[in-house]
Structure 1
Amino acid sequence: MGSQSSVASASAHKSWLRWFLVCSMIVALPGCGGHPKDVLTPVADTSPQSPKVDMLIATTRTRSTVPGEMFNGERALAPAFADMTISIPPSKVRKKGQVAWPKKLPSNPATDFATVKADDLNIDEAKKWLSASVRKAPDGSVLVFIHGFNNRFEDAVYRFAQIVHDSGVHSAPVLVTWPSRGSLLAYGYDRESTNYTRNALETLFQYLAKDPEVKEVSILAHSMGNWLALESLRQMAIRNGRLPEKFKNVMLAAPDVDVDVFRQQIADMGKQHPQFTLFVSRDDKALAFSRRVWGDVSRLGAIDPEQAPYKKELEDNKIMVIDLTKIKSGDSMNHGKFAESPEIVQLIGQRISDGQTLTDSHVGLGDQILVATSGAATAAGNVAGLVLAAPVAVVDQDTRDNYATHVGTLAGSSSAQPAAANDCDQTRPTPSCKR
């Protein structure tokens, strides 16, 4: 029996090793689609007629040494700031709601979203930028955007640029970007990164509240970014005894927040809180996965606002709801409808600009198979899920980019490296690229 067991164990080990090597080879295949990464190296403004979005960056990410990445997904010891200008291609080559990622580098401002300025700022320079930008806003308003889970720095920058441009908002745009590793299997790390950023965001909110030049503040948060926004507002309300009147609109898009916790967060903010607008979609697949991770408790962004007890609670707290369930989008996860629907984006901009109260990933096909097989919390340990995802990694860019992490985690590696496919990107070949 012992001998047979040893033989079986050795055979299983060899099978696992063979499978692991096959998966590693798949990861190393050159790219077959998607868009180049690390696109933030500034290019010449060769399309001066293209619209530009100038934004202030406030981040708790670590400065990257990779050209074109600017900030990575690791946590910095102190907040950093930057001034970025993004060129938006003309409407004749891009539909509203879309981010026109470059197909190759360098970006072409005539056809692509392109970075034309990316300057680091110290805190005093950031304050000067904000002051100058607020003075340009007709109503002295600021729009703060907080992105969601599974976002690289460039994802957040280009998505916010798209929202600002397509909405027609005239507020000073401020992007708050927290350390997300941009991988489906980094859900736990990303969640803790929002907690890590709470104090920094509250500090920004406190500064905006005290700045006499800032007359109005609107906040737009997406997905897991809603947790960060709500916790920072709650923390501010508890510290100050109330939230400032100039905080007019808080827009919660597809919030990945436990409904029971949200109920307590709103209570802690007191009766005088901003006008909350909730964007929900009952077909949001990302929030369905999140619900499974968090003990099958409903996520705020996927509730049915017409059903009890939500309907009465929303009415009692004067929370307006926009149900996007029937709206179609190009997002297969139905998690970014608020940004991809031209009508919704324009509604956001119109209401912010008019001073009225208002009545957002790298998920590859293989990632979806993984989560569907075993749930996001255990996907990394599911061999069957990885086997099913392996063929998809050959043709799907996002699956291939994340696949090394999947395999490394399953193999017990705590420091899985990015997919070697990046080394073989035709736009920036490296010595390690082997074709």
Structure 2
Amino acid sequence: MRKSLSFVVLALLLAACAGRPENLLLISDQRAAGATEIEMLVATTRLPSGDPGTLFSGERNQVLGDIKIVDIAISIPPDEARKVGQVQFPKKAPGDPAREFVTTRAKVLEIPDAQNALRSMLRNKGTGHVLVFIHGYNNRFEDAVFSYAQFVHDSGAPVIPTLFTWPSRGQLLGYGYDRESANYSRDALEEILRRLDRNPAVTQITVMAHSMGNWLTLETLRQMEIRSGRLPGKIDTVIMAAPDVDFDVFRTQMRSLKNAGPQYILLASQDDLALSVSRRVWGSSVRLGAVDAAAEPRRSELEDIGLMVVDLTEAEGGGLNHAKYASVPEIAKVLGERIAAGHTLGVPKATLGDRIGLATASGAAAVGGAVGLVVTAPLAVVDANERDRFGHRVSAVGEDAKAGLGITTAPTCPTERFGPRPVGCPEL
């Protein structure tokens, strides 16, 4: 069974790597009607490639502390011309903006110019909310840029996108090198987060990481807490998508991060094939991103940490089921809403059972693929703003689908005396 699983994962990874296009960052001077442009700032510890089609390689910048900043804009075709949840890579660079993602701007900036660019983006978008994303293993510079642009667009998150990209070689057999490159980049990520926190125009920072990027993120946050005694106050939420982190190691990391601070949200999926292989590579019992949060002893351990746990196991993610946060459009949309909402849960020391999470119903076809909120305690434990924001999503998931997932929810009962009463609501 183990050999067959490893073969399937290897085949999927090889297929993905074989089809990677080249020179994605060549500038297109064409525009398409209905296309959307995603502008982002990119910070990196990679070595410049000297090639305008790639900008940066997978090697490490040997000048310690030299963080490169790039202002990049990616044009995304209209939704009716693409499959939402996927990146439509150009078949040949620079690409066709009517049907493919294309690069419309890519300019390396000095730090003062980067600060000016950030101020301009904040002013033009009318927000002080910055979303910092840290990618995972096996990502070239251009892969990370295009994938992040896709998530920002499909989630609809009203934020200023900032990408931190570390020196991944983007090679299937480069796992060990990538892990060391993540460690190499801890101080640089800390510097970026502190610079954002010191910027008076920035009012809120959400940190989101995927896969191995969570190792880098957690190690960075841990060293920041140890160094200063607390995390920067503007870091509001930390979202961990499919974290490739040993569960026991995660528990020790969180011991240093238990002071009052950001809301930590875990997006986990027990059918994540990439994490299944990682678990065997490391010889660990479970990877954090594939944990069964409902089963003991993990439930109690997570409860003690105080996470918002999001179980995406029932969502059909395709491929390795390793990037459901971006590949399932409904999940991306709800995450966008959650990012916009910020740290609004009203019970800071609530147990795991008092948190809310997201899931897609196994009977998605019957409910139109709607994403609903899994509520493991009455909605009364969540503050009123959160109930109002997400209540409609709870009711969007059919009772049959919820039963299939073992979900029980308290009904949202209207306060008016007239009209029919939902099942479970007392008479007024």
Is the shorter-chain TM-score for this pair beyond 0.5, marking a shared fold? Answer: yes
Three-state SS of the structure 2 residue aligned to 1:97 is coil
Structure 2 residue 32 is the aligned partner of structure 1 residue 44: no
Look up the match of 2:73.
85
Q: Which amino acid aligns with 2:37?
A: K
- The equivalences for 1:233-252 within 5 A come to 233-252=221-240
Look up the match of 2:336.
349
For 2:316 and 2:71, locate their aligned partners in 1 and report how far apart those are by CA, in whole Å.
Answer: 34
- Which among 285, 299, 307 is matched to residue 295 of structure 2? 307
- The equivalences for 1:71-110 within 5 A come to 71-76=56-61, 77=63, 78-110=66-98
- The equivalences for 1:152-163 within 5 A come to 152-163=140-151
- Which among 22, 37, 42 is matched to residue 57 of structure 1? 42
For 1:220 and 1:106, locate their aligned partners in 2 and report how far apart those are by CA, in whole Å.
Answer: 29
Structure 2 residue 210 is the aligned partner of structure 1 residue 225: no
1:310 is displaced (CA, Å) by 1.6
Contact conserved, 2:237 with 2:342, CA < 8 A, in 1?
Answer: no
Unpaired runs of at least 5, structure 2: 1-16, 346-356, 358-428
1:135 is displaced (CA, Å) by 3.0
1:309-337: CA deviation from partner (whole Å, max 9, x where unpaired): 2212222222011111111123x211111
Contact conserved, 1:242 with 1:270, CA < 8 A, in 2?
Answer: no
Look up the match of 2:260.
272
For 2:192 and 2:39, locate their aligned partners in 1 and report how far apart those are by CA, in whole Å.
Answer: 19
Look up the match of 1:337.
324
Contact conserved, 2:57 with 2:169, CA < 8 A, in 1?
Answer: yes
- The equivalences for 1:373-392 within 5 A come to none
For 1:106 and 1:158, locate their aligned partners in 2 and report how far apart those are by CA, in whole Å.
Answer: 13
For 1:221 and 1:357, locate their aligned partners in 2 and report how far apart those are by CA, in whole Å.
Answer: 20
Q: Which amino acid aligns with 2:141?
A: F
For 2:304 and 2:185, locate their aligned partners in 1 and report how far apart those are by CA, in whole Å.
Answer: 30
1:279-326: CA deviation from partner (whole Å, max 9, x where unpaired): 111111111111111123311001100111221222222201111111
For 2:275 and 2:141, locate their aligned partners in 1 and report how far apart those are by CA, in whole Å.
Answer: 22
1:38 is displaced (CA, Å) by 1.9
For 1:138 and 1:66, locate their aligned partners in 2 and report how far apart those are by CA, in whole Å.
Answer: 34
1:321-373: CA deviation from partner (whole Å, max 9, x where unpaired): 1111111123x2111111101111111111222335584xxxxxxxxxxxxxx
Contact conserved, 2:246 with 2:284, CA < 8 A, in 1?
Answer: no
Query: CA 1:286–1:59 in 2, change beyond 3 Å: closer, same or farther?
Result: same
Instruction: Provide TM-score, normalisation by structure 1.
Output: 0.72
Look up the match of 1:324.
312
* Larger helix share, 1 or 2: 1
Q: Which amino acid aligns with 1:278?
A: L
- Which among 195, 201, 204 is matched to residue 213 of structure 1? 201
Q: Larger RCO: Structure 1 or Structure 2 (Cα < 8 Å, ≥ 6 residues apart)?
A: 1
For 1:198 and 1:137, locate their aligned partners in 2 and report how far apart those are by CA, in whole Å.
Answer: 29
Contact conserved, 1:52 with 1:86, CA < 8 A, in 2?
Answer: yes
For 1:312 and 1:162, locate their aligned partners in 2 and report how far apart those are by CA, in whole Å.
Answer: 36
1:48 is displaced (CA, Å) by 5.0
Q: Which amino acid aligns with 2:140?
A: R
**Identity across aligned pairs (percent)?**
51
For 1:214 and 1:260, locate their aligned partners in 2 and report how far apart those are by CA, in whole Å.
Answer: 34
Three-state SS of the structure 2 residue aligned to 1:185 is coil
Q: Which amino acid aligns with 1:69?
A: T
Query: CA 1:357–1:290 in 2, change beyond 3 Å: closer, same or farther?
Result: farther
Q: Which amino acid aligns with 2:326?
A: A
1:210 is displaced (CA, Å) by 1.9
1:46 is displaced (CA, Å) by 2.5
Structure 2 residue 148 is the aligned partner of structure 1 residue 148: no
Q: Which amino acid aligns with 1:349?
A: G
Q: Which amino acid aligns with 2:277?
A: F
1:245 is displaced (CA, Å) by 2.9
1:56 is displaced (CA, Å) by 0.1
Three-state SS of the structure 1 residue aligned to 2:280 is helix
Q: Which amino acid aligns with 1:253?
A: A
Comparing 283-292 with 136-145, which one deviates more in the overlay?
Answer: 136-145
Look up the match of 2:423.
none
For 2:103 and 2:197, locate their aligned partners in 1 and report how far apart those are by CA, in whole Å.
Answer: 30
Structure 2 residue 166 is the aligned partner of structure 1 residue 178: yes
Unpaired runs of at least 5, structure 1: 1-31, 360-435
Contact conserved, 1:206 with 1:236, CA < 8 A, in 2?
Answer: no
1:253 is displaced (CA, Å) by 0.4
1:95 is displaced (CA, Å) by 2.1
Comparing 306-315 with 116-125, which one deviates more in the overlay?
Answer: 306-315
Query: CA 1:72–1:33 in 2, change beyond 3 Å: closer, same or farther?
Result: closer
- Which among 259, 274, 282 is matched to residue 270 of structure 2? 282
Count residues in correspondence: 327
**Pairwise CA RMSD:** 1.7
Q: Which amino acid aligns with 2:250?
A: F
1:103 is displaced (CA, Å) by 1.6
